[in-house]
A and B are shown apart, each in its own frame.
Chain A
Amino acid sequence: MPAERPAAGRGRALVAVLLALGTVAVSPALARGAVGASEPRPLVALATPVATSISTSAGTWASLPMGHLDQPFNTFWQLFDLPSRGGAHWTDHAASLAVATNGGLVLATPGGSSLVVGIRPSNLLDFSPLVATTNGTAWSPVPPVSALDKRPDALAAGPGGDELALTSAAGAPQVQSLAAGRSAWRTLVTQASLAGSPAGRACGVTSLTAVAYGPAGAALVGAACDRPGVVGVFADTSGGWHLAGPALPAGSGQDQVEVVRLQQAGAGVAALLALSDSSSSRLVAAWSASAGTRWSTSPAITLTGSERLVSVGPAAGDGEFALVSDGSGHERAEVVGGPGARWQSLPPPPPTTATIAFGPHGRVDALAVDDTVLSDWTLAQTGHSWTRTEVIRVPIQFGSSG
């Protein structure tokens, strides 16, 4: 039978085409997946790395990630130690921690020979085990705390045995404290309550970034501020929390500031600040002998758009170092010696350097990681070149964390 000519075929076809176009126009397939959509340019923010080094009277400690760094469950953080007396070789103490280290390690020292190590949670573990040592041989557990934040100074140890921890239990960032001899941590302040305080409102707290003990044993909390030109260093006094940070160098009044590091330095406290605007970031070191009344600040070093922090930590004396990568395999190491000093560049560190350690007698080591191999490069006495002095193969058990 011949096909019947459709009645009002054109009109129907037009309606159908319009319907089809309408259907497509509202299709969720168009809602996402657009390529090359432009977005407003955010402020340059620096992700704070956890890899660091720290010195005690017993030795120099370095924590860094090894293994398959693009796979969280196959990235294992190691804890290396270079003893201060007669130590020429680094020793890995990761096995002594008796826990999977995929989440990262946070180091703190109250001074003297003690070291406290916090193990960040990973996979199905949602709290942080803590362990302490004075010599790397005997380890004793410290009561566990809620999930330690991924910050190099998320843990602070006081000389009297007290401890502070920056945690994010149940998604609520807060500072917890542990009194010496006690078995349970208590909440010292939450981000929400700090942000709601007069000092917090003056800062516009966007995140908590570091904890430390001040010279008199007062708790200090570092933060990132939304309000330009305000440095979020808060001190806990009997009158509550107040801003105790330094004034910024001239010309930085419109920068947003994040406290990258905050730690005891000698008899005072040292801080490393990241200043950001829409085009670049700068690092400024600051020191205070009184934690709040008088600060001295270093000149700034600028990080270009592609550069990111690889490691930050204490340098010799009251100094600070920053290891910076440009994202294409080139790194630079910058060091500031202490109050009144300027930033100085070390020779370009060896490729894949994960952190730099400042030991006794002026020894400086660059610890480079390639999968399971750690290479220790020592800075020559002349200060002009690095020499590889040790290679350690770490027996990582890939697949052991799930």
Chain B
Amino acid sequence: MPGMSSGLQSNNTTIVSAFQSMLLHQGLVVLALLAIVIAAWNVLRTVQLRRAVAASAGAGSAPAPRTAPADPEPPGRRVLRIGFGLIWIFDGVLQAQASMPLGMTPQVIKPTAAASPAWVQHLVNVGGTIWNNHPIAASASAVWIQVGIGLMLLVAPRGRWSRLAGLASFGWGTLVWIFGESFGGIFAPGLTWLFGAPGAVVFYALAGLLVALPERYWASPRLGRALLGVMGSFFVAMAVLQAWPGRGFWQGHLRGSSALGTLPGMVHQMAATPQPGFISSWVASFAAFDVAHGWGVNLFAVVALGALGLAFLTGRAPIVRVALLLAVVLCLADWVLIEDLGFLGGVGTDPNSMIPMLLVLVAGYLGLTRIPARTDAIVPFPTTAAARLPWRERIATQPVYVLRSLAALGAVAVTLLGAAPMAIASTNPNADPILAQAIDGTPDATDIPAPHFQLVDQYGRSVTLGTLRGKAVALTFLDPVCVSDCPLIAQEFKDADHLLGSDARNVELVAVVVNPLYRARAYLTAFDHQEGLSGLRNWMFLTGSAAALERVWNAFGEQVAYSPGGAMIAHSDIAYVIDAGGDTRYVLDADPGPGTAATRSSFAVTLTSSIEHVIHSS
């Protein structure tokens, strides 16, 4: 019925089942990849052993392996690599939540973008459209891309594979920062460090960039100092922003009103999101505290951020060490009391900014104080003797190298397992039919003669089922003064006409008016004009006398009734696909659901598919 939209909730069983099924299938592929890696490792290990035995038999004694002790990985780099590797995997697991396919856009992307300028929203909408049109492929892809990047970072500590993992982290992190976090909200009002500015994923991208750097950059304290300098400047900037008057952060309540100040308002909202009771209680308690002591809380935040920033900017190890310890305390307190642990409220996609920020700070400190090389000059990193061996020889002699290379290859394959379907999906501008199926179910195939009718079209020409013979007919029932479903269904028919391409010449798109009062041709024309259907060559909007219309409604099982209380005429949302011989071949539930661009497109794809099947099977 128009207006009685079934909606499309994020826990829709059709979508959730399809998502879990896709994850399961892709999971089996990942298991197969793991088996291949293990098998390949066994084969290569066997080859290595045979070579070693043959070599020892030839030489009369076991040769010393051509390896030298490896220099340790720079500690700062290791912290970033392992820390962000684990976080990426954690994020990947969060992406596997059942509500992610349909919840990501309305619950994560849109709210984040809502306060940003129009150009940001427009840009974000590009990504959102791809996600909305292909929610299953997109959400499954996000799972495997993030798990794959995490695995790459963890299993490849050095060399090209490791740097590739860093680049992947930088690239995907940047994409997520732009399209998922709307640039971390930096273009929106209300920006504050306390709530995660400038976005968690910007730290993922930064860490990826640092991992992707040649290791020689870690051979002097310059990188660590530069990193701390950047973070220090950032903290000072955030302190100034926090202190800026007129942004509502100094007040628990806004002056002259009962509205909460900016920070308590945000925290209060956070406390209301679905999450475990104890976290909600902590967050709500802090919100209450901030309402009562808004000025003091903000003063503390400003002083703490400013002092930490200046301490990091000094680049002096003892000062930075103390500042780092204080930053750990501050960030953890913020993470629990304000950021809600990041992922527990609503559809969480990451642990928010505090943990990634701390990892970067720790890496900066280690980069400053724990230098693996003996010189502070930027020189080529003193690679091991083993690293200089040709890769064929390393494969032949170094089991660990083999294992890590195979594991890295496997991780790349996992990433591609996610990236490939998303890349393919993003080239298809039309939505997947599963959205329409989630709302209306699958079209019912049938093969019965369509009821006869005799009506007139919007131009006054007589139209019967007989005059339509020889063409496939997509027929539905529309109210020209309907305010919700009918315009959407009309757009879906129009989109289907576009999708049919040259096949549209063999199709008539027909609507029968279902409003007993507004059935004059002037109303059909007004509706056509409103929906841009006036120029559609194969579009017919049929009307007739009240009696003739009632006969047609009854024949097609269309229920029409006046509604009380100022509601529109109630009628069934239904569409029929009739073949060139006058037989009904498909019956489609045409409820447009929420009427989003994605669901409209999905229904058009489903309708087109049914029409094409009828055309090509006749």
Chain A interface (Cβ < 8 Å from any Cβ of B): 1-6, 9, 12-13, 16-17, 19-21, 23-25, 27-37, 66-67, 76-78, 92, 94-102, 119, 121-127, 129, 131, 139, 141, 143-144, 183-184, 372, 394-397, 399-402
A125 in contact with B190 given A397-B563, A399-B3 (CB within 8 Å): no
A3 in contact with B316 given A35-B247, A98-B516 (CB within 8 Å): yes
Decide if A124 touches B225 in the complex (CB within 8 Å). Answer: no
A397 in contact with B567 given A1-B371, A129-B523 (CB within 8 Å): yes
B residues near A121, Cβ cutoff 8 Å? 483
- Chain B residues 313-334 with CB under 8 Å of chain A are 313-317, 320
A residues near B248, Cβ cutoff 8 Å? 33, 35
Stretch at the interface among B89-97, B156-164, B181-189: B181-189
A24 in contact with B241 given A29-B191, A94-B566 (CB within 8 Å): yes
B residues near A97, Cβ cutoff 8 Å? 517, 566
Q: Which of B1, B188, B221, B564 has the most CB of A within 10 A?
A: B564
Q: How far is the CB of B482 from chain A (nearest CB, A)?
A: 7
Decide if A400 touches B567 in the complex (CB within 8 Å). Answer: yes
Decide if B189 touches A33 in the complex (CB within 8 Å). Answer: yes
A–B pairs, 21, beta carbons within 8 Å: A3-B221, A13-B313, A20-B234, A20-B236, A24-B244, A28-B188, A29-B191, A35-B251, A36-B254, A37-B246, A66-B566, A76-B565, A78-B565, A95-B563, A101-B566, A139-B517, A394-B565, A396-B566, A397-B565, A397-B567, A400-B563
Decide if A144 touches B566 in the complex (CB within 8 Å). Answer: no
Write the chain A residue with the least CB distance to B516. A98
* Residue interface bits B474-511, CB-to-A below 8 A is 1, else 0: 00000001111001100000000000000000000000
Decide if B566 touches A17 in the complex (CB within 8 Å). Answer: no
Q: From B186, B233, B317, B370, give the contact of A29 (CB < 8 A).
A: B186
* Residue interface bits B366-396, CB-to-A below 8 A is 1, else 0: 0011110000100000000000000000000
Q: How far is the CB of B202 from chain A (nearest CB, A)?
A: 14
Decide if A402 touches B234 in the complex (CB within 8 Å). Answer: no
A141 in contact with B566 given A1-B370, A3-B316, A129-B518 (CB within 8 Å): no
B residues near A1, Cβ cutoff 8 Å? 221, 369-371
A21 in contact with B240 given A29-B189, A99-B481 (CB within 8 Å): yes
A residues near B233, Cβ cutoff 8 Å? 16-17, 19-20, 23
B residues near A372, Cβ cutoff 8 Å? 565
Q: How far is the CB of A98 from chain B (nearest CB, A)?
A: 4
Write the chain B residue with the least CB distance to A119. B481
Decide if B316 touches A141 in the complex (CB within 8 Å). Answer: no
Decide if B241 touches A27 in the complex (CB within 8 Å). Answer: yes
Write the chain A residue with the least CB distance to B515. A98
Decide if A124 touches B254 in the complex (CB within 8 Å). Answer: no
B residues near A143, Cβ cutoff 8 Å? 520, 522
Q: Which of B117, B240, B256, B568 has the most CB of A within 10 A?
A: B568
Q: Does B428 make an interface contact (CB < 8 A)?
A: no
Q: How far is the CB of A397 from chain B (nearest CB, A)?
A: 4
Q: How far is the CB of A3 from chain B (nearest CB, A)?
A: 3
Q: How far is the CB of B515 from chain A (nearest CB, A)?
A: 6
Q: From B3, B189, B316, B517, give the contact of A98 (CB < 8 A).
A: B517
B residues near A119, Cβ cutoff 8 Å? 481
Decide if B565 touches A94 in the complex (CB within 8 Å). Answer: yes
A residues near B244, Cβ cutoff 8 Å? 24, 30
Decide if B526 touches A127 in the complex (CB within 8 Å). Answer: yes
Q: Does B135 make an interface contact (CB < 8 A)?
A: no
B residues near A396, Cβ cutoff 8 Å? 564-567
A17 in contact with B241 given A1-B371, A102-B483, A129-B518 (CB within 8 Å): no
Decide if A31 touches B189 in the complex (CB within 8 Å). Answer: yes
Decide if B483 touches A402 in the complex (CB within 8 Å). Answer: yes
Write the chain B residue with the least CB distance to A35. B248
Q: Does B533 make an interface contact (CB < 8 A)?
A: no
Q: How far is the CB of B348 from chain A (nearest CB, A)?
A: 24
Decide if A124 touches B483 in the complex (CB within 8 Å). Answer: yes
Q: How many pairs, one residue from A and one from B, have CB atoms within 8 Å of each other in the complex?
A: 218
Write the chain A residue with the least CB distance to B247. A33
Decide if A29 touches B563 in the complex (CB within 8 Å). Answer: no
Q: How far is the CB of A38 from chain B (nearest CB, A)?
A: 11
A20 in contact with B237 given A29-B189, A96-B562, A144-B522 (CB within 8 Å): yes
Q: Which of A3, A36, A37, A100 has the most CB of B within 10 A?
A: A3
Q: Does B128 make an interface contact (CB < 8 A)?
A: no
Decide if B520 touches A127 in the complex (CB within 8 Å). Answer: no
Specify the main secondary structure of chain B where it touches its partner.
loop
A residues near B320, Cβ cutoff 8 Å? 3
Bound together, the chains give a CA A400 to CA B517 distance in angstroms of: 19
Q: From A27, A34, A139, A400, give the contact of B3 (CB < 8 A).
A: A400
* Residue interface bits B173-202, CB-to-A below 8 A is 1, else 0: 000000000000011111100000000000
Given A77-B566, A124-B482; 6 other pairs, CB 8 A cutoff: A17-B310, A99-B481, A125-B482, A183-B522, A397-B564, A401-B484
Decide if B315 touches A400 in the complex (CB within 8 Å). Answer: no
Q: How far is the CB of A276 from chain B (nearest CB, A)?
A: 25
Bound together, the chains give a CA A395 to CA B229 distance in angstroms of: 66
Decide if A20 touches B309 in the complex (CB within 8 Å). Answer: yes
A residues near B530, Cβ cutoff 8 Å? 125-127
Decide if B369 touches A100 in the complex (CB within 8 Å). Answer: no
B residues near A25, Cβ cutoff 8 Å? 240
B residues near A129, Cβ cutoff 8 Å? 481, 518, 523
Q: How far is the CB of B479 from chain A (nearest CB, A)?
A: 8
B residues near A67, Cβ cutoff 8 Å? 565
Q: Does B433 make an interface contact (CB < 8 A)?
A: no
A residues near B247, Cβ cutoff 8 Å? 29-30, 33-35
Q: How far is the CB of A376 from chain B (nearest CB, A)?
A: 17
- Chain B residues 1-40 with CB under 8 Å of chain A are 1-5
A residues near B565, Cβ cutoff 8 Å? 66-67, 76, 78, 92, 94-95, 372, 394-397
Decide if A32 touches B5 in the complex (CB within 8 Å). Answer: no
Decide if B246 touches A35 in the complex (CB within 8 Å). Answer: yes
Bound together, the chains give a CA A77 to CA B1 distance in angstroms of: 21
Decide if B483 touches A125 in the complex (CB within 8 Å). Answer: yes
Q: How far is the CB of A16 from chain B (nearest CB, A)?
A: 4
A residues near B563, Cβ cutoff 8 Å? 95, 397, 400
Q: Rank and list the top 7 A-B pairs by shortest CB-CB distance, nearest first.
A: A33-B189, A3-B317, A76-B566, A101-B566, A29-B191, A400-B3, A20-B237
- Chain B residues 247-286 with CB under 8 Å of chain A are 247-248, 251, 254-256, 262
Bound together, the chains give a CA A380 to CA B117 distance in angstroms of: 57
Bound together, the chains give a CA A6 to CA B222 distance in angstroms of: 9
A residues near B2, Cβ cutoff 8 Å? 400
Q: Does B168 make an interface contact (CB < 8 A)?
A: no
B residues near A6, Cβ cutoff 8 Å? 225, 314-316
Write the chain A residue with the least CB distance to B488. A124
Bound together, the chains give a CA A134 to CA B371 distance in angstroms of: 94
